Copies of this chain bind each other. A is one copy, B any other.
Amino acid sequence: MLDDQRLHQELLGRPGSRSALNTPALVLDLDALERNIAAMAQFARARGVALRPHAKTHKSVEIARRQLAAGAIGLCCAKLGEAEALAAGGIDAILLTSPVVTPQAIARLARLNERLRELIAVVDHADNAAALAAALSGKPLQVLIDIDPGIRRTGVPTPEAALALHRAITAQPGLKFRGVQYYCGLQQHVPGYAERRSAIAERTDYLRSLIALLREHGAAIEIVSGSGTGTHRIDLELGVFTELQAGSYVFMDKQYLDCDLADAPEPPFETSLAVDARVVSANHPALVTIDSGYKSLSTDGGVAVVQRGAPAETMFMFMGDEHAALIGPDIAARLRPGDAVSLTVPHCDPTVNLYDFYHVVKGDTLVDLWPVSARGRAR
């Protein structure tokens, strides 16, 4: 029995049991999660676009199942190990959004391809297309050309490279070309809607011209996969993607709360995720120390903010691996050692990766423990 199970199994279903959790704990509000899943499914359905949510956010078989039940056509995974973990949980349609290039990983990919109803890989170099084809045993592998939108992370860098790669793919009988992937990571977190719209529209012009060029040269592009939580609304309107890869909408972390996602007063999604923490020391009037530091909250996305248990304007400051400070006037008069606060996480994906389980709550009652199925599966 794993740590969280050993500590918290007996709290399941006990009214108010959230307040009894050992902290730090990753807490997921089930009702808010389900509303977010339904809302994104509805947005995509209304535009006739497919939804293939990214599992790199949640890494969870349980959440993937709920997304499929709401109409998703499959899941995306960032890494092969993540895909293997979801496959082990019965998820049978996966798009792997990063190139798989080493011999040992390609061998695993070929085995996974045999096992899944649908596996789609992305390719950004002809050598990789040849290596994939050489490793297959029977069942063809579906592939997309990964197109670099200017990040220089992965993807073909030019239209000419896309054309050459299309020829290389179609020359391999084991590979089945399905279309293109285009993920504009840099545009997702532009805070203002109008600025984001303008930035993504410019990038979409490039994608549109590249698709036209590929089609002129005979490419049968069925799938145009991409988008994210930040640009989903705009991408649906621009109408180029056949499917959305959005992931973070299920949780809505601080980074996305800071973005105006829908050009509307109400954000389209709710924050369903929190890290519950507790005060461990309160020896200064304006500063208390909580039990959550670098090992409980990822640090790449700025600082956490108080969701409940302290005034919203309370300042958060990391204090090392195990601790952070909450700073505010007279905060130590209000928060004593042992008192709990809930934090909205700065960046959900790497924060979730620090935990073995979601503590699933309805209201303030712990109702389930869901494993973070693909935690640590970065290989």
Closest to A11 in B: B104
Closest to A319 in B: B153
Partner of A323, one of B20, B153, B337, B353: B153
A368 interfacial by beta-carbon distance below 8 Å: no
A281 interfacial by beta-carbon distance below 8 Å: yes
Cα distance, A324 to B32, chains bound together (Å)? 33
Most buried by B among A287, A295, A323, A355: A295
Q: Known contacts A148-B283, A350-B294, A378-B295; decide if A99 and B321 are in contact (CB<8 Å).
A: no
Contact A325 B152 (CB under 8 A): yes
Cα distance, A370 to B364, chains bound together (Å)? 39
Q: Known contacts A278-B102, A338-B103; decide if A325 and B153 are in contact (CB<8 Å).
A: yes
Give chain A interface residues in 116-139, CB to chain B under 8 Å: 124-125, 127-128
A314 interfacial by beta-carbon distance below 8 Å: no
Contact A296 B378 (CB under 8 A): yes
Contact A101 B283 (CB under 8 A): no
Give chain A interface residues in 347-379, CB to chain B under 8 Å: 347, 349-350, 353-356, 376-379
A156 interfacial by beta-carbon distance below 8 Å: yes
A181 interfacial by beta-carbon distance below 8 Å: no
A324 CB to closest chain B CB (Å) equals 9
Cα distance, A101 to B157, chains bound together (Å)? 55
Query: Residues 59-86 of chain A: 1 if any B CB is under 8 Å from the residue's CB, otherwise 0?
Result: 0000000000000000000110100000
A198 interfacial by beta-carbon distance below 8 Å: no
Residues in B neighbouring A325, C-beta threshold 8 A:
152-153
Residues in B neighbouring A338, C-beta threshold 8 A:
101-103
Q: Identify the stretch in A22-30, A39-47, A260-268 within 8 Å (CB) of chain B at 4 or more residues.
A: A22-30
Contact A319 B289 (CB under 8 A): no
A36 CB to closest chain B CB (Å) equals 20
Q: Contact residue range for chain A?
A: 35 or more
A7 CB to closest chain B CB (Å) equals 7
Cα distance, A282 to B338, chains bound together (Å)? 51
Contact B3 A376 (CB under 8 A): yes
Contact B321 A281 (CB under 8 A): no
Q: Known contacts A289-B154, A354-B376; decide if A281 and B125 are in contact (CB<8 Å).
A: yes
Residues in B neighbouring A295, C-beta threshold 8 A:
349-350, 353, 376, 378
A178 CB to closest chain B CB (Å) equals 20
A181 CB to closest chain B CB (Å) equals 13
Q: Known contacts A283-B155, A283-B157, A294-B298; decide if A349 and B321 are in contact (CB<8 Å).
A: yes
Cα distance, A220 to B124, chains bound together (Å)? 69
Q: Known contacts A292-B378, A379-B25, A379-B291; decide if A98 and B321 are in contact (CB<8 Å).
A: no
Q: Known contacts A125-B281, A278-B101; decide if A298 and B299 are in contact (CB<8 Å).
A: yes
Partner of A22, one of B78, B99, B292, B379: B379
Contact A101 B280 (CB under 8 A): yes
Contact B104 A20 (CB under 8 A): yes
Instruction: List the 9 shortest-distance A-B pairs measured between CB atoms, nearest first.
Output: A101-B337, A294-B350, A154-B281, A299-B300, A22-B379, A295-B378, A102-B338, A294-B300, A78-B322
A-B contact pairs, 12 of them (CB 8 A): A22-B81, A22-B105, A98-B291, A101-B278, A103-B338, A127-B337, A152-B287, A295-B376, A300-B318, A321-B353, A354-B378, A355-B376
Known: A20-B104, A101-B278. 13 other contacts (CB 8 A): A7-B104, A56-B321, A99-B337, A151-B319, A152-B283, A152-B289, A155-B281, A156-B283, A157-B284, A295-B349, A295-B350, A295-B378, A353-B354
